[in-house]
A and B are shown apart, each in its own frame.
Chain A
């Protein structure tokens, strides 16, 4: 059973075993506005927590999406190359960004749960 976590940088993680699917929250996509391009990373790239994993581009600006935890990218959402607006229409489902194998599951303890995230965005 996957468990969902959040970060203060407006990402969500759906964690199943040691694999996390990562995307941005509905709140984040709404702040960014219509996305026109998602710069996806290479599969196999190793990320340290805080590294820029993905750049999402709206009509007006480019925004970084950071790795929420240490790990390695095992899959990216190829559907976003043709339809970046999926992140707007389905941020928490079909608009996921990447999947990563976690290097240290104990880092999950530092993330927010849904109630904590809701409190964070007010």
Chain B
């Protein structure tokens, strides 16, 4: 993104009118908090409905007779085995099985898919997927959409009141309810909820209807981060990166067993070698003792002062009521309950390896 001007969201005027404080994230000027503040925004999402503008993320339509073969090559999935409307968390891996990005792939039809990519990787993802697509009868089309997340226990009800029926969807399923719309039951908060990509004019109308409902309010990037951290969800660039792989990232649940041995996706051989040898380190939850947050970048040590790993994300969990973090530790230390220490400004803060998530997921699995 170096040298590029900061990009602004299509609905920026609405965020300004709502009193948002803005910050730059992945090259985008994003609403970080609204006047309610991160604590209230976080709790509101867990209790009612949070409305997030995530238009910095990118939607790609992948279509053509070779679409399933393309995605089966580009990602560690069996795209042919996906049911229509089924969504799957997957990755672009490099040849070393390093994670270039994490993605949600949804099958829209026999030979049509939607791919949702992270903002910071969108440009590289497009080039990567288009380069692979040259060997397949498939088209990769970046879409110009506003992308909204509607998250929380009352999301389905608030959407229904706004005229959008999401009741037929269960968690990790998606469809196209209207022309140029894409809607899935998914999110980044650990709560039930939906993500909807749609044209700007439609988005403005939907936002107005949702905000007329007192159950819904705008939620900024700060609460999005504390919500996803409590839910144990990874932020690419922090918790997963080209230097981590799905094995050390504790994300092998996303790679179907059927393709681990036989898959020909990019990075398959490297992934098999890592699986055979075992990962030297593992991503784990970390619960700091006391009230002091432990942030990404803090070094971890065992009781004898030996290097044990590193914190990759950390902050305060408003619903958990205590600081929460995740990071990588040497595999022998990855067991829940292991006591470690994080270096925070020269002080050794005790932390305990903890199961993820910190707050239970409340997905609508149907």
Q: Do chains A and B interact in one complex?
A: yes
* One of B4-12, B32-40, B52-60 at the interface: B32-40
Does chain A have a CB within 8 A of B345? yes
* One of B118-126, B240-248, B291-299 at the interface: B291-299
Does chain B have a CB within 8 A of A58? yes
Contact-size category for B: 20 to 34
Choose one: B38, B291, B292, B345; the contact of A33 (CB below 8 Å).
B38
Does chain A have a CB within 8 A of B225? yes
Query: In the bound complex, do residue B345 and residue A36 qualify as a contact, i.e. CB atoms below 8 Å apart?
Result: no
Check A57/B39 contact, CB under 8 A, given A33-B33, A33-B222, A36-B316. Answer: no
Query: Bound complex: CA of A84 vs CA of B222, how far in Å?
Result: 18
Question: Which residue of the partner chain B has the closest CB to A39?
Answer: B292
B residues in contact with A31, CB < 8 Å? 21
Choose one: B225, B292, B323, B345; the contact of A60 (CB below 8 Å).
B225
Does chain A have a CB within 8 A of B226? yes
Does chain B have a CB within 8 A of A28? no
Does chain B have a CB within 8 A of A59? yes
Check A59/B316 contact, CB under 8 A, given A33-B33, A34-B37, A34-B38. Answer: yes
Quote the shortest CB–CB distance from B36 to chain A (angstroms): 10
B-contact 0/1 string along A38-78, CB 8 Å cutoff: 01000000000000000101111110000000000000000
Query: In the bound complex, do residue B37 and residue A60 qualify as a contact, i.e. CB atoms below 8 Å apart?
Result: no
Query: In the bound complex, do residue B315 and residue A59 qualify as a contact, i.e. CB atoms below 8 Å apart?
Result: yes
Query: In the bound complex, do residue A59 and residue B318 qualify as a contact, i.e. CB atoms below 8 Å apart?
Result: yes
Query: In the bound complex, do residue A60 and residue B38 qualify as a contact, i.e. CB atoms below 8 Å apart?
Result: yes
A-B residue pairs in contact (CB < 8 Å), sample of 29: A31-B21, A33-B33, A33-B37, A34-B39, A36-B291, A36-B293, A36-B316, A36-B323, A37-B291, A37-B292, A37-B293, A37-B323, A39-B345, A55-B345, A57-B316, A58-B38, A58-B316, A59-B39, A59-B222, A59-B223, A59-B316, A59-B318, A60-B222, A60-B225, A60-B226, A60-B315, A61-B295, A81-B291, A84-B291
Instruction: Tell me the A residues contacting B by CB distance below 8 Å.
Output: 31, 33-34, 36-37, 39, 55, 57-62, 81, 84
